[in-house]
A and B are shown apart, each in its own frame.
Chain A
């Protein structure tokens, strides 16, 4: 369903956020001036320090693996464009620092994200125990409809496993999110996680489109707004 395009990372500035207002909110509208994509999804990878967030992202975006990446300072991102239903979806994937001290900085970016990959390390009990905290962070700081997938990374290191798949699954069920065990090193499920997240977001999008079409900008931006002007509070749509 999703195929990759060649232009994985582009160095030019692909979109400029609304300086004034949009602020922390999801940007999923099509930017008419940009011919490179139809939609843009902003995703965030979060989880404890050194669970493999950066490696996971590099595996997906660059298809490369290095056993050690520099510990992320604050927040970083990569871009990848995928195809879904003949639409180019540009994924801007933000990779966050897991250290406690970076919480304030990273949570500021939650508001703009449409999807979260919440990651723990199956060889590290503490990272698993922190999942609930991270969920609370998402609830507190994110946009209400943001979608979450729980990921247990490093599943290639079976000998050192301390968190069973079953516990991961149970937790995910309890949290009402989907669950994958992955390995950035062996390239297990990495692509699946992103594809699934994109799918969930698209589903959610079309759901809310049913109730409020104005969200979807695209070519018919604002069309429905003018459709039923009510009373004197004529909505204006030249946003």
Chain B
């Protein structure tokens, strides 16, 4: 059985005398043996295949030619057992039968269907495995083709190959392949002809039928030839199906036509037609040769009478989408680490370079909005690249409360979207949100559109005006609109948290100003005290130091000394944005891991504790630590003897008792404040101004992405939730990619829907759908863009069933492609 391998061994010992050609053949044989493709070694039996093509390849050289020899096969279903040894043959199974049946079955399909294999031969001929020898340079010379083909013949025969073997010939763009398959009973040859012009006798079915029968030249009578035909018509050129680009306007830039609605209407969809081709296929799947006349002068084919109509659509691989473009421009900024204000040359005047420079002394502090209201031009002002009229409209859109016009008011009750329920993943849901319809969304969208329209200078100008307006609002104690109430919540995006914090500052400062006594805006914070209205408890204190700052009684608890125990009014811990929390955490971590670190951390964190203790002492004159614990940490309080400390409060070096020792009775209202809104606000505003380009993009992208996701969802796009994570940029880029995918899919689906109507792609159309198409085409179909005919016949059946098949397929466009496969039966002769 392995004779040839022995020969091959001898071969190698005698390497001096052999020719290049012999080496080439030997090399092919070597590879085929390695891949175990001889009939003796290949698995037998009726294997079940998946639809997935797998393959392997080797490089082979011959003279100056380089070839890639590749083997392609459908993946076997795992659960089918190939028959061992020769049982399959005994059971009637033969490789040639499988091949013949495959060829026959494949004629039900047409040549332009695809099966996912790298070369079309598999679906032309219904192959489940094949070998392909592919030259790196086109193989056009007849001599060379013959030489290589005979090498293949020899190698095929030498190893008794079990798989059809093809050679790619002619220019690479021409789908021309020669192929052979041979066993003891049959020899099948595969041939392809490509002609750039269609010769007369091949331009119609009758001519092709003559060609086919001539080629078979069978000595025995044939069964009647079976035929099928398919005419294809371009659909996307039909007027009703012509693709129109989505409206993409920078119209908002023209001043007289400015319309906020146009600005915020995010562009969505493909820039170019996502459909590469849309074909109406008119098919006659099966008829006998004498049923139809189709000659140069007359044709029976009437597409309107054809039994089957289908639509097939081919979509472009890469399409640019408008929303993704917009997002992409913003995303690109993440690489730019220059200060955004440098773009305008403003960094120095804004004091960004010098942190000691006081913000309040920055030369420009009056809001543009106010200037406009006052009639402007009084202050020597910074002139940015955005035209004033446009800028004003945009600022009024972002800060609608600056103008007496209700058209763009923010919704009353803005909420940060809560955690989504698990079952419906939404686009970009990993990106932190901000209230839909809120300020962050508006400023992000305006920024994105301006960036697209005018580049970085426009974005910088907007950011400048935005921060100026925030500065102005802080100085005048005017709340920033369109921001959710309350302290910053880590659930929303960082920009939103910053604005929440700014509003906290503004409110706190407003209360200060309202309380009167203290210095107003811009005062030195060190002398200020936390303010909580100073009405004292009703029940008058009778003795000794007067109690102050009582909130309410703690149930009916009494102190160790018998006096009623009051909960004091307290300072709330200062609101923090997530970046500040991270800084705090870093500071705590920096104290180290040991006991010393723990002690330092406790000290860092005892400000709130001390404040509460002082408030408690003020509200409860004569209180002891155990009384404090009764309110603050009840499990560290014991009832024995009217009140005692729990075990752990008695430990030496206890931060609780240390703090208690130094705490003076001071009501919260007169304590040093834990939250210094002056410092916070100024730091925050400077922080916003001093962002890099990348930093601003990072602040704005969540709003852009969330708005984009909303736009995409409205347009029917869907997508899974990308993973959330720690790295903001990674989350942003992942979300942007997710959005781009969704947009692309939606654009494709939308374009396909226009052409398909309600019909499914590739399925036979109902009468109504056919009528719709016909109407779109104006009642009659144009000349077909492509015609395809398939002719097949089998030799009179042998004992084991159907005989060997002969097939000719012809695809006619401007050119002609003929693919034929003819089988000679050795035994019949």
Contacts and interface: CB of A to CB of B under 8 A. Distances in A.
A104 B573 contact: yes
B638 to A, nearest CB: 12
A109 B586 CA distance: 11
Q: Which of A9, A19, A71 has the most CB of B within 10 A?
A: A71
Given A73-B605, A234-B328, A49 B740 contact: no
Contacts of B570: 101
A79 B594 CA distance: 9
Q: Which of B335, B573, B582, B586 has the most CB of A within 10 A?
A: B582
B648 A225 contact: no
Interface in B587-607: 588-590, 592-594, 597-598, 601-602, 605-606
A235 B737 contact: yes
Contacts of A15: 589
Interface string B411-454: 00000000100000000000000000000000000000000000
Contacts of A101: 570, 608, 612, 632
A162 B729 CA distance: 49
Interface string B696-723: 0010000000000000000000001011
Given A24-B490, A236-B733, A50 B635 contact: yes
A78 interface: yes
B558 interface: no
B727 interface: yes
B328 A75 contact: no
Interface in B670-705: 695, 698
Contact of B325 (A16, A28, A208, A233): A233
B419 A231 contact: no
A21 B729 contact: yes
Interface in A1-48: 9-29, 48
Contact of B594 (A9, A49, A108, A230): A9
Q: Which of A19, A24, A29, A124 has the most CB of B within 10 A?
A: A24
Contacts of A220: none
Nearest to A114: B726
Interface stretch (A137-145, A150-158, A163-171): A137-145
B654 A70 contact: yes
Contacts of B586: 16-17, 19
Contacts of A68: 647-648, 651
A143 B724 contact: yes
Given A24-B578, A70-B656, A139-B419, A77 B589 contact: yes
A98 B318 CA distance: 56
Q: Which of B605, B654, B736, B744 has the most CB of A within 10 A?
A: B605
A11 B178 CA distance: 74
A236 B654 CA distance: 51
B430 to A, nearest CB: 8
Interface residues of B, number: 76
B324 interface: yes
Contacts of A124: 635
B334 A236 contact: yes
Nearest to A16: B586
Contacts of A239: 727, 729-730
A230 B583 contact: no
Contact of A13 (B590, B724, B733, B737): B590
Contacts of B656: 70-71, 73
A62 to B, nearest CB: 10
B579 interface: yes
Nearest to B608: A105
Contacts of B324: 230-233
A76 B727 contact: no
B632 A225 contact: no
A143 B727 CA distance: 13
A13 B597 CA distance: 11
B585 interface: yes
Contact of A225 (B585, B720, B733): B733
A138 to B, nearest CB: 11
A85 B737 CA distance: 32
B494 A236 contact: no
A8 B419 CA distance: 36
A237 interface: yes
A24 B581 contact: yes
A76 B598 contact: yes
B572 interface: yes
A203 interface: no
Q: Which of B327, B593, B601, B608 has the most CB of A within 10 A?
A: B593
Main secondary structure of the interface of A (DSSP, over half): loop
Contacts, number: 215
B602 A26 contact: no
B731 to A, nearest CB: 8
B723 A231 contact: no
Contacts of A112: 582, 585
Nearest to A229: B737
A235 B736 contact: yes
A232 B325 contact: yes
Contact of B728 (A22, A109, A215): A22
Given A73-B656, A233-B737, A236-B334, A214 B744 contact: no
B608 A71 contact: no
A28 to B, nearest CB: 7
Contacts of B632: 99, 101
B578 A233 contact: no
Given A74-B601, A215-B730, A19 B579 contact: yes
Nearest to B733: A235
B576 interface: yes
A144 B578 contact: no
B633 interface: yes
Interface in A183-239: 208, 211-212, 214-215, 217, 222, 225, 228, 230-239
Nearest to A215: B725
A111 B581 contact: yes
A99 B633 contact: yes
B319 A231 contact: yes
A206 B597 CA distance: 34
A105 to B, nearest CB: 6
Given A22-B727, A23-B581, A50-B648, A11 B734 contact: no
A174 interface: no
B649 interface: yes
Interface in A50-76: 50, 67-76
Contact of B585 (A17, A50, A214): A17
B636 interface: yes
A231 B602 contact: no
A211 B726 CA distance: 16
B576 A230 contact: no
B332 interface: yes
B741 interface: yes
B487 to A, nearest CB: 9
Given A22-B726, A27-B726, A29-B727, A111 B593 contact: no
Given A73-B605, A76-B601, A108-B581, A21 B494 contact: yes
Contact of B647 (A29, A67, A78, A141): A67
A76 B490 CA distance: 21
Given A29-B727, A71-B636, A75-B588, A232 B320 contact: yes
Nearest to B698: A21
A14 B588 CA distance: 12
Contacts of A70: 602, 648, 651, 653-656
B517 to A, nearest CB: 28
14 contacts: A9-B593, A9-B594, A25-B724, A70-B651, A70-B655, A73-B606, A79-B593, A105-B608, A208-B723, A231-B318, A231-B744, A234-B332, A235-B331, A235-B733
- Of all A-B residue pairs in the complex, the 7 with the closest CB atoms, nearest first, are A233-B328, A23-B578, A74-B605, A212-B723, A21-B728, A9-B593, A235-B733
